[in-house]
């Protein structure tokens, strides 16, 4: 996003999001999958996301397997977060029904794209299931998570969503680093997801600022606490999944893994997941700029202190 676009009137920013959304529109089968299958000779997530180096005891082949397990979890986590993001976007669209019709169109397209992304990630999950050993588990219910998240204030949900959409953009830039072993299908997943998420990040920001402008200082202060609670809830999911994925690795890697190594592998999974799903977004320059313009220094410190516990 350029500085010139930042200063455009809101209605013009919604219009640009609609224009871009139409221009980049893609199809799951025709553009992303293109009749291909996953090959376990490839990494599914790039080293910069899987934190391959953190898995100190593993061989290069085992690290590749870890990137494939993480690739499946990537599909599962996005399927999960896009469920509540879409519900929130549909709810927000209500505010524009009889107002700015361009803003309404931008949110309708946003919702439509998130439904498509969920279908893409279900497809990717099934395709990975075809090539990896059985026994993988992801025991989190997307609807139960969505209900819990949507119980928080819109401000908190939008701030979390902005974090998510921004880290999606960063994940794409990580995936384009030169790496001959990286799966071509996964590269396309990052590329095509990024194309549509770029508009979502702008719309999150517009909606967050709009909602914020109608809030009292007290309500915003409570919303900052709710954002911290939401991040902690995300972390709870990541902790459970890091354990599940470490167990799956130990059960299917084809060699014995003792308790000490199992603990180290679990810790490395958690480190990677916290990087992928929390820190890579909140460290994004735009997240700091947008949130920093809305909250006080004391609130920013509260958030920073909470994030610092997730290392």
* CA atoms within 13 A of residue 137's CA, in its CB half-sphere: 16
- Six-digit token string for 274: 């916290």
Least distance between Fe ion and beta carbon 209 (Å): 18
Nearer CB in complex with Fe ion: 163/165:
165
Nearest Cα neighbor of 165 from 216, 199, 133, 134 is 199
Nearer CB in complex with Fe ion: 58/107:
107
Are 221 and 299 contacting, i.e. CB atoms less than 8 angstroms apart?
A: yes
Least distance between Fe ion and beta carbon 164 (Å): 7
Rounded distance between C-alpha atoms, residue 192 and residue 195, angstroms: 5
Rounded distance between C-alpha atoms, residue 187 and residue 39, angstroms: 13
Rounded distance between C-alpha atoms, residue 175 and residue 111, angstroms: 25
- Six-digit token string for 48: 């910069």
Rounded distance between C-alpha atoms, residue 118 and residue 102, angstroms: 24
Nearer CB in complex with Fe ion: 96/200:
200
Least distance between Fe ion and beta carbon 222 (Å): 26
Nearer CB in complex with Fe ion: 68/198:
198
Nearest Cα neighbor of 103 from 115, 114, 94, 116 is 94
Q: If phi over 0 gives left and psi between -120 and 50 gives alpha, with beta otherwise, what is residue 135?
A: left
Residues in the chain: 311
In the complex, the residues that contact Fe ion under the rule CB under 5 A are 117, 165, 197, 200
Least distance between Fe ion and beta carbon 87 (Å): 13
Rounded distance between C-alpha atoms, residue 35 and residue 3, angstroms: 40
Least distance between Fe ion and beta carbon 180 (Å): 27
Least distance between Fe ion and beta carbon 122 (Å): 13
Nearer CB in complex with Fe ion: 83/220:
83
Least distance between Fe ion and beta carbon 17 (Å): 12
User: Which residues pair with residue 182 across a beta bridge?
Assistant: 43
Residues 6 or more apart whose CB falls under 8 angstroms from that of 60 comprise none
Least distance between Fe ion and beta carbon 26 (Å): 12
Nearer CB in complex with Fe ion: 165/212:
165
Least distance between Fe ion and beta carbon 114 (Å): 5
Nearer CB in complex with Fe ion: 31/39:
31
DSSP for residue 183: -
Nearer CB in complex with Fe ion: 29/258:
29
Nearer CB in complex with Fe ion: 270/278:
278
Rounded distance between C-alpha atoms, residue 301 and residue 286, angstroms: 17
Work out the burial of residue 227: count CB atoms within 10 Å of its CB; fewer than 13 is exposed, 13-18 middle, 19 or more buried.
buried
Are 307 and 278 contacting, i.e. CB atoms less than 8 angstroms apart?
A: yes
């Amino acid at each position: 996003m350029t500085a010139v676009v930042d200063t455009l009137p809101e209605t013009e920013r919604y219009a640009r999001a609609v224009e871009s959304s139409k221009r980049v529109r893609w199809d799951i089968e025709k553009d992303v999958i293109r009749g291909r299958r996953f090959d376990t000779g490839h990494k599914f997530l790039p080293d910069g996301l899987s934190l391959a180096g953190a898995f100190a005891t593993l061989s290069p082949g085992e690290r590749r397997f870890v990137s494939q397990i993480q690739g499946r979890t990537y599909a599962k986590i996005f399927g999960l977060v896009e469920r509540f993001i879409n519900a929130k976007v549909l709810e927000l669209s209500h505010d524009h029904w009889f107002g700015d019709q361009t803003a309404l169109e931008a949110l309708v397209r946003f919702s439509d794209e998130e439904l498509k992304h969920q279908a893409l990630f279900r497809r990717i999950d099934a395709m990975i299931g075809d090539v990896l050993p059985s026994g993988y588990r992801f025991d989190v219910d997307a609807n139960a998570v969505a209900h819990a998240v949507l119980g928080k204030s819109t401000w908190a949900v939008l701030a979390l969503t902005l974090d998510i959409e921004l880290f999606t953009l960063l994940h794409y830039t990580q995936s384009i680093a030169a790496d001959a072993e990286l799966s071509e299908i996964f590269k396309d997943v990052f590329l095509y997801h990024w194309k549509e998420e770029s508009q979502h990040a702008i719309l999150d920001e517009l909606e967050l600022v709009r909602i914020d402008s109608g809030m009292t200082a007290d309500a915003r202060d409570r919303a900052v606490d709710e954002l911290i609670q939401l991040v902690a809830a995300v972390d709870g999911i990541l902790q459970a999944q890091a354990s599940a994925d470490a167990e799956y690795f130990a059960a299917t890697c084809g060699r014995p893994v003792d308790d000490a190594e199992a603990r180290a592998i679990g810790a490395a999974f958690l480190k990677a997941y916290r990087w992928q799903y929390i820190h890579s977004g909140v460290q994004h320059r735009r997240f700091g700029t947008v949130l920093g313009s809305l909250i006080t220094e004391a609130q920013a410190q509260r958030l920073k202190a909470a994030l610092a516990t997730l290392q």
